[in-house]
Amino acid sequence: MNTMTRSGTDVGARGKAHRVEWFLSHHANFAGRAVPARAEGMTPSPAEVANPDRGIAMDVPTMIAVSTVAWALTDVLHEIVGHGGAAVLLGIPVRAVSTTTIFADWDQIQSMAEVRAIHASATVLNLVTAALALLALRSPRVTSQATRYFLWVFATISLVIVTLNLVVGGDWSVVIEGVEPAGLWRAGILAAGILVAIVNHVLPLRLWLPDLRGHRRLQLKITAVPVLVLLVVQTLSVLGSPFTDVPMGSGTNALVTSWALTFFFGVWLALVNLIPVPRSTAPVDSIRLPRSNAWLVVGLVVAVFFIGVLGPGLGPLDADPRLAWVP
Interhelix angle 254-274/182-207, nearest 10 degrees: 50
DSSP-derived secondary structure for 70-89: HHHHHHHIIIIIIIIHHHHH
Identify the burial level of 232 via C-beta atoms within 10 angstroms of its C-beta, where 0-12 means exposed, 13-18 middle and 19 or more buried: middle
Instruction: List the domain range (segments joined by +) for residue 245.
Output: 63-325
pLDDT at 32: 38
pLDDT at 55: 53
179 located within any domain: yes
| CA-based R_g, the chain, Å | 27
Among 254, 313, 262, 284, CA closest to 58: 284
How far apart CA 149 and CA 142 sit, in angstroms, is 11
49 located within any domain: no
Give the count of domains, the chain: 1
Phi, psi of 317 (to 5 degrees): -65, -30
198 located within any domain: yes
Give the distance from CA 99 to its chain's centroid.
Answer: 17
Among 213, 172, 223, CA closest to 196: 172
How far apart CA 159 and CA 80 sit, in angstroms, is 18
23 located within any domain: no
pLDDT at 246: 86
Run of H or E residues at 103: strand 102-104
pLDDT at 326: 59
pTM strictly above 0.75 = yes
pLDDT at 327: 59
pLDDT at 106: 87
Among 65, 37, 55, 196, CA closest to 73: 65
Collapse the DSSP code of 135 into the 3-class scheme (helix H, G, I; strand E, B; otherwise coil) and give the result: helix
30 located within any domain: no
pLDDT at 28: 42
> Contact, 53 vs 287, CB < 8 A?
no
How far apart CA 98 and CA 306 sit, in angstroms, is 9
53 located within any domain: no
300 located within any domain: yes
Walk along the chain (327 residues) in steps of 10 and give the mean pLDDT of each run: 43 47 43 38 44 71 98 98 97 96 92 95 98 97 96 98 92 92 94 97 96 94 98 95 85 85 96 96 94 97 98 93 74
How far apart CA 118 and CA 267 sit, in angstroms, is 28
39 located within any domain: no
Q: What is the dihedral of CA 127, 71, 140, 195, to 10 degrees?
A: -30
